[in-house]
Amino acid sequence: MIAIQRPRPGAGNAAPADEQSVSTDDAVRIQGLTKRFGALRAVDALSLDIRRGETVALLGPNGAGKTTTVSMLLGLLAPDGGTVSVLGMPPAAAIQRGRIGAMLQDGSLMPGVRVAELLDYALSLAATPLARERLIATAGLAGLERRRVDRLSGGQTQRVRFALAIAGQPDVLVLDEPTAAMDVEARHEFWASMRQYTAAGRTVLFATHYLEEAEAFASRVVIIAHGRIVADGTVAELKRGAGSRTVRFRAGDGMGDGTQPGVLDDLPGVYVAERQGEYVTLKTSDADATVRALAAGSLDWRDLEVRTANLDDVFLSLVGNDAHNTNGGH
């Protein structure tokens, strides 16, 4: 496990959970969280602290436990073990006080209702409602106010869900695959809106399958597999912890058409050797040693490049074949 240890605020003699909302630096505190579905342990003694103002991406393959963890954080599922608190309160209390908002994949909007009507209803229920005009602008819903919600595109529906989640200006915002139905342009617009909303120091936890979103927008990344945390840190920390680099070069005429696995695999540090067309890609744990061996050897190569691991590399190295799992799961 790649884990970046962060100092915890002094615990001392902690007050009861429902009295700590202003005495802790943790926006979310999860300790020993466990959930079983029959013989399946979907979440396995998971512990996670999220400080106020952090934007945390929760990554993992299908069935890793992301949605189950989010559901327990929101009080939608009761854990079989462990505890969850939001701003020092149980999830139910945080929801009742409007301190936490959520944008979930599941659940449909009320059919036949117009966008403006649904937003006005949500604002009427909020203890500290966001200004209507600002809500519409932040969620990118201008021009859609009179559209029926059952006639929206998938991306537009996600924007309405986002608007409902922030209508009460919650301190903690939880998003489950927020851009799943959006095209590339809509995703960029959505995250621009998120940056605007979180500029005031709000806390965000979002589960996503898009690694590039985590790399671009999260201040911290948590990777889970089989219900457990396998990595926790900033993107830069995870890359350094992975310790791998990629060496890529163009094969010269002397290399022939084969990948020469016996030669490439034996280069120091190399643990994956691939060839596509004229280009050879080597995954290595010691790029310096690999390059020195290439320079000293007889292989015919040119246009050599070395790059550090990206988040895809870190993710694949930690979850392996699970990353390709397309079965539904918790």
State residue 111's pLDDT score.
86
99 with 196, same domain? yes
User: In total, how many domains does the chain have?
Assistant: 2
144 with 260, same domain? no
State residue 300's pLDDT score.
86
State residue 38's pLDDT score.
95
99 with 216, same domain? yes
Q: What angle (nearest 5°) sits at the alpha carbon of residue 8, between those of residues 207 and 191?
A: 25
Residue 50 belongs to a domain: yes
Among 221, 240, 259, identify where a domain stops. Answer: 240
Which residues, in sequence order, are bridge partners of residue 305?
Answer: 248
Residue 297 belongs to a domain: yes
Instruction: Tell me the CATH number at 54.
Output: 3.40.50.300
Residue 327 belongs to a domain: no
Mean per-residue pLDDT, 305-325: 73
Mean per-residue pLDDT, 195-209: 87
Confidence band, pLDDT 50/70/90 cuts, at residue 97: very high
- In which order are the strands placed within the sheet that holds 55-59? 2-3, 228-233, 220-225, 55-59, 203-207, 172-176, 100-103
Mean per-residue pLDDT, 154-158: 88
Q: Helix, strand, or coil here: 231?
A: strand
Residue 19 belongs to a domain: yes
Instruction: Tell me the CATH number at 265.
Output: 3.30.70.920
State residue 262's pLDDT score.
67
50-54, 180-184, 322-326: which range is least confident on average? 322-326
Residue 313 belongs to a domain: no
Confidence band, pLDDT 50/70/90 cuts, at residue 256: low
Confidence band, pLDDT 50/70/90 cuts, at residue 69: very high
Residue 23 belongs to a domain: yes
* Dihedral in degrees, nearest 10, Cα atoms 290, 292, 297, 301: 70
251 with 115, same domain? no
188 with 63, same domain? yes
The pLDDT of residue 52 is above 70: yes
108 with 192, same domain? yes
Element (H, E) at 272: strand 270-276
Amino acid at 229: I
Q: How far apart are CA 84 and CA 86, in angstroms?
A: 7
State residue 254's pLDDT score.
65
State residue 151's pLDDT score.
93
Q: How far apart are CA 241 and CA 267, in angstroms?
A: 22
183 with 295, same domain? no
Q: How far apart are CA 48 and CA 232, in angstroms?
A: 9
50 with 91, same domain? yes
190 with 267, same domain? no
State residue 208's pLDDT score.
87
Q: What angle (nearest 5°) sits at the alpha carbon of residue 200, between those of residues 190 and 213?
A: 30
82 with 224, same domain? yes
Confidence band, pLDDT 50/70/90 cuts, at residue 24: low
* Dihedral in degrees, nearest 10, Cα atoms 158, 164, 168, 169: 10
The pLDDT of residue 275 is above 90: no
Mean per-residue pLDDT, 271-295: 89
Residue 318 belongs to a domain: no
Contact 105, 177 (CB under 8 A): yes
Q: What percent of the chain has pLDDT over 70?
A: 86
Q: Which domain holds residue 134?
A: 2-240
